[in-house]
Amino acid sequence: MRCFLALIAFLSCLSAPAHAQSADGCSKSQRQMAAHAVGDANQMTIMAAVSIADHELFAKWFGSYSTPNAETVRATLKSAVTAMRSGRVSVQCVPAQGDGCQDGTIAWVSRPQAFVLNLCPGFFDLPMLDTATPDGGPRGDSTQEGTVLHEMTHFQQVGRTEDYCYTRRVCAEMATARPGNAIRNADSYQYFAEDIIYLSRQSQPPGKTAKSGP
């Protein structure tokens, strides 16, 4: 019963939208895109957190299922939602070749600096989740919402995750070989959450839309 009540309390977070509180150095369109990405990342992460179970996607990104590992993943995702909903997420748009944006970096955070997301120009070239596909587009295998979650998991108060691997191919291999690292790896959270959304799309008949009236 306690778990059920906790889930209800957690899902009640759905009623108010998350958004970035401030966006330093960003153009108007960058500010809008960042706000959209943070809001949708919050929804994506809620879905991912309530979808944790002993199923294929968990094994794909976090290795074989165990209760302690599932608890770690759930706690990290719930902490990310709490952070995104705290009103304390802020965005800084870093210019090309600016601080930390060299070598193809698309976003970065400083772990104790809650919750400042530094977004490089490449971030804004990533697809949004609603147009992306799991096999990746021209920008590879990442989305703006997934990147926001990736960065959020790094913070001290969220998951203190590392970057043990990047890319879907390498991180899927790591889940099998080293699940202990996978549950502490930022990209693994990103791909799990993105895939939960892709999977939920597949289970909807094409063309079906939400019912909006009686």
Residues that bind Zn ion (CB under 5 A): 163, 186
Nearer to Zn ion by Cβ, of 55 and 98: the residue is 98
Nearer to Zn ion by Cβ, of 171 and 186: the residue is 186
For residue 54, report the phi and psi dihedrals to the nearest 5 degrees: -80, 80
CB-based contacts of 99: which residues, under 8 Å, 6+ apart? 118
Nearer to Zn ion by Cβ, of 55 and 139: the residue is 139
Q: How far is the CB of 94 from Zn ion (least distance, A)?
A: 15
Q: How far is the CB of 156 from Zn ion (least distance, A)?
A: 14
Q: Are 154 and 128 in contact (CB under 8 A)?
A: no
Nearer to Zn ion by Cβ, of 71 and 163: the residue is 163
Q: How far is the CB of 171 from Zn ion (least distance, A)?
A: 12
DSSP 62-128: H-S--HHHHHHHHHHHHHHHHHHTTT--EEEEPPTT-TT--TT--EE--TTSTTEEEE-GGGGGSPP
Q: How far is the CB of 15 from Zn ion (least distance, A)?
A: 30
| Cα gap 38→35, rounded to integer Å | 5
Alpha-carbon torsion 198, 116, 163, 170, what sign? positive
Q: How far is the CB of 163 from Zn ion (least distance, A)?
A: 4
Nearer to Zn ion by Cβ, of 186 and 197: the residue is 186
